[in-house]
Structure 1
Amino acid sequence: MLNIVLHEPEIPANTGNIGRTCCATGTRLHLIEPLGFVLTDKTVKRAGMDYWDKLEVFRYDDWDDFKAKNPDAKVYMATTKAKKTHTQVNYEPDCYIMFGKESAGIPEEILVDNEENCVRIPMGHDIRSLNLSNSVAVILYEALRQNDFLGLETEGNLHRLNWKE
């Protein structure tokens, strides 16, 4: 099972959207404090719709608490400062993919200690970053693709109608 880690997220709607994406993909969500909102905030619930109760969520006091409780975790870190793209690594089925807060990203001191696991989403020169929930979806679905979508439904079923009537 894949894991998404949000380091000090600030915008409740982003976290709600990410929670919904995690539910849709069978992914665990890890939240590192401090949060810029209360998890019971109606905007988190609204963005996560009625899926929030199906979400496996873990909370941590800080980065050190996360590391202590997940000592063997392979953590990939999404940052615009990475040298390699998110498609240039092989995501293990139980890896963690971490994203920083909307206003500042993952702290520099954490990135420096983990530079070999830093990845970026390619984008234009004049754009600072993508929306956090969009970034999570882009990288998470690449990790899922690499792992044959880990038991997710991969085929739909069209209902054929006679449109000529």
Structure 2
Amino acid sequence: MVLDAVQCDPNVGSRQQTPRIALYQPDIAGNTGAILRLGACMGMGVDIIGPAGFDMSDRALKRAGMDYLAMAGLVRHVDWSSFEAWRAEKRHRLVLFTTRGAVPLWDFTFQRDDVLLFGRESAGVPEIVHAAADAAVLIPMPGGGRSLNLAMSAAIAAGEATRQMAPP
């Protein structure tokens, strides 16, 4: 597993047995910061698969993540292959959120070892990532829009996964 120096607490998420959120080569620091805050608040680790389209020390990332950055279970993977090696070692199921998804979010059953993967804001993910996914999930948009903001999509998915795993 190849990680860079930006690593907060990679055990967030695994302590509470919750899924993790992964971002494939994110483009926008503000979205990534918001997702780091989401992960910290929901007890979900966040994996960033590089290269990112911005410097991780960017003020916008720190501003968006605010003081939650230190609480986030952030792990940066240098590239897709290092992420896949880590995922294979940990035996995490990969759940890709995509407009090409075959299963609507509401019909999907989440598991505690899932990694909820979201693509780049500008381009989604390449075919190699689609092929590696264990499931392709769609967030239904009855209003007819093309796509949601990345941070909004991650929040919707994290909320539904958490709801499904809540004690009865």
Number of the residue aligned with 2:108? 89
The 4+ residue runs of structure 1 with deviation greater than 6 A are none
Deviations 1:41-70 (A, max 9, x none): 111111111110111111112111111112
TM-score (norm 2): 0.83
Which runs of 5 or more residues in structure 2 are unaligned? 1-17
Alignment: residue pair count: 148
Kindly provide the amino acid, as one letter, of the partner of residue 12 in structure 1.
A
Number of the residue aligned with 1:162? none
* 2:53 aligned residue (36, 48, 57): 36
Kindly provide the amino acid, as one letter, of the partner of residue 75 in structure 2.
F
Residue 43 (structure 2) pairs with residue 26 (structure 1): yes
My pick for the range that moved more, 54-63 or 97-106, is 54-63
Q: How far apart are residue 113 of structure 1 and its match?
A: 4.2
Residue 139 (structure 2) pairs with residue 139 (structure 1): no
Kindly provide the amino acid, as one letter, of the partner of residue 97 in structure 1.
L
Q: Tell me how large the CA RMSD over aligned residues is.
A: 1.4
Q: How far apart are residue 112 of structure 1 and its match?
A: 3.5
Residue 135 (structure 2) pairs with residue 122 (structure 1): no
Which runs of 5 or more residues in structure 1 are unaligned? 150-165
TM-score (norm 1): 0.85
Kindly provide the amino acid, as one letter, of the partner of residue 76 in structure 1.
V
Percent identical residues: 36
Flag the 1:8–1:87 CA change in 2: closer, same or farther, 3 A. Answer: same
Number of the residue aligned with 2:19? 2
Number of the residue aligned with 2:77? 60
Number of the residue aligned with 2:6? none
d(CA) in 2 for partners of 1:137 and 1:77? 14
